[in-house]
Amino acid sequence: MTGHMFTDRTGALLDNAERLCVARGSRLTELRRQVLGLVLDAGRPVGAYDLLDGLRADKKGAAPPTVYRALDFLLEQGLIHKIERLSAFVGCTHALDRSHGDHAHEGGCHPHAAQFLICTGCGQVTELDDRNIVHALVDATRGIGFTVRQSTVEAEGLCGACGTGAIPPAHAHGRP
């Protein structure tokens, strides 16, 4: 067991992740569990080197390849997503929340074609799981003979708090 203590919510999500991995014939090692916990506890998109810093709090000899191997596994298992625009990672709450199950999409699409709303004011990222967006993309590309195998949509804009101006963007969502 690591010295890092996660929130109760993160602990429950980590337990769900472990069950998902076992059901898929994979293993959520202690290191992978810790990296996933750091991603989930961050509450925002987090970069690999920030994760490395968090990992080094418990494992002094941790090196970048250690983190990248864990991230690759977590991505393959659908437990996290990479936000390409930010070169950062977020937990896949749809996979980890047991109420959503394994969330396979219909029509041969990628098991979880996520959409991300990135607030340019405060940096908050919200994950959507809207099948209508996936189906619209599949339908739009079918006419030109293109088969969508995987899709991730990243849209930039302003979240509700930043968009209304009720909270100055620099202070929205508890950011200094």
92 is in an annotated binding site: no
Q: Which domains does the chain have, with CATH numbers?
A: 1-103 (1.10.10.10), 109-166 (3.30.1490.190)
119 is in an annotated binding site: yes
62-94 pLDDT per residue, tens: 999 999 999 999 999 999 999 999 999 999 877
- Give ∠ CA 63-66-72 in degrees, rounded to 5: 140
109 is in an annotated binding site: no
135 is in an annotated binding site: no
Rounded average pLDDT over 30-56 = 95
pTM: predicted TM-score of the whole model, two decimal places = 0.79
Q: How far apart are CA 135 and CA 80, in angstroms?
A: 22
Q: How far apart are CA 141 and CA 85, in angstroms?
A: 23
Is residue 5 scored above 70 in pLDDT? yes
21 is in an annotated binding site: no
Q: How far apart are CA 36 and CA 42, in angstroms?
A: 10
